[in-house]
Amino acid sequence: MPIINRIAELKEEMTEWRREMHMHPETAFEEEWTSAFILKRLETFGMDEIHTGIAKTGIVAVLRGQEEGPAIGLRADFDALDILELNDVSYKSKIPGKMHACGHDGHTAMLLGAAKYMAETRNFRGTVYFIFQPAEENEGGGRVMVEDGLFDRFPMTAVYGMHNSPGVPIGHITMGSGPMMAGYDIFEIIIDGYGTHAARPHQGVDPVIIQAQIVMALQTIASRQTDALDSVVLSITQVHGGDTWNVIPQQVILRGTVRCFSPQVQDLVEDKMRKQCAAIAQAFDANVTVNYERRYPPTVNDPEQTKFCAEVACDLAGPDNVNANARPVMGSEDFSFMLQEKPGCYIRMGNGGPGEFGSVVVHNPRYDFNDEALPWGASYWAQLVEKALPRQK
């Protein structure tokens, strides 16, 4: 059996951890209960050091092997989302309007299981840093951990991440070299016109008409102003304006996101957006303000580390169940901030094939992590460490 026997024995305990966390979801930088839960488990494992308060609720646990050697980091995120859970399970969220809809409870349980196993065996040389990160969803907890000195306080040669993958069968692992997840930017466009009676539009400046022009113009950035080989998704996700039937409003606000795979394309999109909005505003005698914010950079896997992780995955799952040339996705991940500082690889672990439990898409009110994946993820972590930091004696 490819799963490590001792980790298979830990499956029931990992499941209990995962479901307990599922009942107590907490969102960005508010994960006080979750952080305490993780800390309590780590304290029973016999870790060499445990450091708390990194990015407010983040934790780094230190485990040293049987010989001197280099150090690597393993990262799991543990925040939840502002979603009302619709699952009917015994471990349903107890916090109204919040739920673990992305599987971070599973990510944390897998890393805890690996930490327990490795603390028992220490079948490696050097040092492993177990990085438990808050606020992956939207707020960039990975960036804050880096800013709080993660790699200065815990020097390591490489860092590794993992995410569950609904729709992919249990025991299957995917990854790829280079950009694997898109950069994530947000923008807000404030259109200030001149309000007037809806029967006399010529006496005002209509921001509703102007926003329509802007929405259509922005789509040409991807379709006509960016190289067709450079993927860009620009989506308007909010339109706010107007209060009553017979008044042309004074202001309309647009909000949305931009996704792409390189900083150069991010620069181009922002520049074109500002120029288009300024030109349209001038044409209609309006004032337009563009607030553009860089959230997450692209997630870029190191080629050598990706090759190494593919070897680990093949040893665990078998070559037929590993795709080392997976296509990039337009979703985003703040593990990208860690990969900007250190080489590493971010993989995806199967969480249930089509129609199986665990196949519901993430960020859905009926999503639930598949506990059958827990020993696979924990075994991957353990085998990665033992292969990256092999004992010499």
Write down the pLDDT at residue 51. Answer: 98
As beta bridge partners, residue 161 has 346
Write down the pLDDT at residue 89. Answer: 97
Residues 6+ apart with CB under 8 A from 243: 249
Write down the pLDDT at residue 128. Answer: 98
Residue type at position 241: G
Write down the pLDDT at residue 2. Answer: 84
What tokens does 373 get?
């994946």
**Domain edges within the chain:** 5-181+299-388, 183-296
With 0.75 as the threshold, say if the pTM is over it. Answer: yes
- How far is 14 from 110, CA to CA, in rounded Å? 7
Residue with tokens 């129609």: 355
- How far is 221 from 269, CA to CA, in rounded Å? 7
Write down the pLDDT at residue 393. Answer: 75
- How far is 388 from 393, CA to CA, in rounded Å? 15
Write down the pLDDT at residue 380. Answer: 98
- How far is 260 from 269, CA to CA, in rounded Å? 9
The SS3 call for residue 353 is coil
Residue type at position 9: E
CATH of domain 5-181+299-388: 3.40.630.10
Write down the pLDDT at residue 180. Answer: 97
User: Going residue by residue through the chain (393 aa), what tens digit of pLDDT does each one get?
Assistant: 489 999 999 999 999 999 999 999 999 999 999 999 999 999 999 999 999 999 999 999 999 999 999 999 999 999 999 999 999 999 999 999 999 999 999 999 999 999 999 999 999 999 999 999 999 998 999 999 999 999 999 999 999 999 999 999 999 999 999 999 999 999 999 999 999 999 999 999 999 999 999 999 999 999 999 999 999 999 999 999 999 999 999 999 999 999 999 989 999 999 999 999 999 999 999 999 999 999 999 999 999 999 999 999 999 999 999 999 999 999 999 999 999 999 999 999 999 999 999 999 999 999 999 999 999 999 999 999 999 999 997
What is the CATH architecture assignment of 183-296?
A: 2-Layer Sandwich (3.30)
